[in-house]
Structure 1
Amino acid sequence: MKWNLRLAAANRGIWKASELQRMLAEHGLTISAGKMSGLWSTDSLTSIKLADLDVICTVLNCEVGELLLPEPDKVSRQPDGADAAPAALSASSGQVVPKRRDGRSLPPI
């Protein structure tokens, strides 16, 4: 996904990150200068809270699809059969084998 905040803001006449930061604060979203700089200057955001995204969309009066643009050409596909082996093994046995989360083995059945 491509993060498109700067262009979405520019389409609404907002040219400075500090201006958007002030507008977000008026709607209850306080963002530090460092985080605002990251939101403003990057095109590949790693994470954002959904509540924050909701406020940004409200302030810019836009849809999420204007801020997050899909990039299907960056998605890789697994070669045929690469993922089929584990599914085939579990389907052939018909039994679910639980695993402990702490890494220790289960007692024999």
Structure 2
Amino acid sequence: MKWNLRWVAAKRDIWRPSDLKTAFEQVGFTPSLNKVCALWSSKPVTVRLDDLDMICAALNCTVADLMTAEPVAAEQTEEGDRPQAVGEHPRAGSGSRPVPKQTGGAVGQRRPLPPN
């Protein structure tokens, strides 16, 4: 999501966080100046729906004005670069069953497989 608070505020001739805080207070929304500055300067990780409603009321806008969906770019990786799922390509010579790890005991002794 793209956070467009500054753009929407600029359309309403609001250029500073302190002016934005004043606009918020006119509709009964009283966040701290620190919170307003955080909303102003960067994309918030979370926004309460009640707060979002008050922001829209103060700026006379919609949620669609404040947030714009951005498509997620699909990463194009080569076959060898992508992570493999467990068991996707069995190890050479392992057959259809996994090979148990060696135990700390005698050389060549293997752990028993779990029951099916």
1:81-96 to structure 2, matched below 5 A, reads: none
Q: 1:27: which partner in 2? A: 27
Instruction: Please name the residue that 2:108 is paired with.
Output: none
Partner of 1:49: 48
Q: Report the count of equivalent residues.
A: 77
Equivalent runs, 1:2-81 vs 2, <5 Å: 2-42=2-42, 44-74=43-73
Higher relative contact order (CA 8 A, sep 6+): 1
Deviations 1:56-86 (A, max 9, x none): 111111111110111112577xx9xx7xxxx
Q: Where in structure 2 are there 5+ consecutive unaligned residues? A: 76-81, 86-116
In the TM superposition, structure 1's runs of 4+ consecutive aligned residues that sit over 6 Å from their partners are: none
Cα deviation code 1:32-57 (max 9, x no counterpart): 11111110011x22111111111111
Structure 2 CA distance for aligned equivalents of residues 71 and 53 of structure 1: 19
Aligned partner of residue 15 in structure 1, secondary structure: coil
- CA RMSD, 1 decimal: 1.9
More helix by share: 1
Q: Aligned equivalents of 1:31 and 1:37: distance in 2?
A: 10
Check conservation: 1:2, 1:45, Cα contact below 8 A: no
**Any unmatched runs of 5+ in structure 1?**
83-109
Give the TM-score normalised by the residue count of structure 2: 0.60
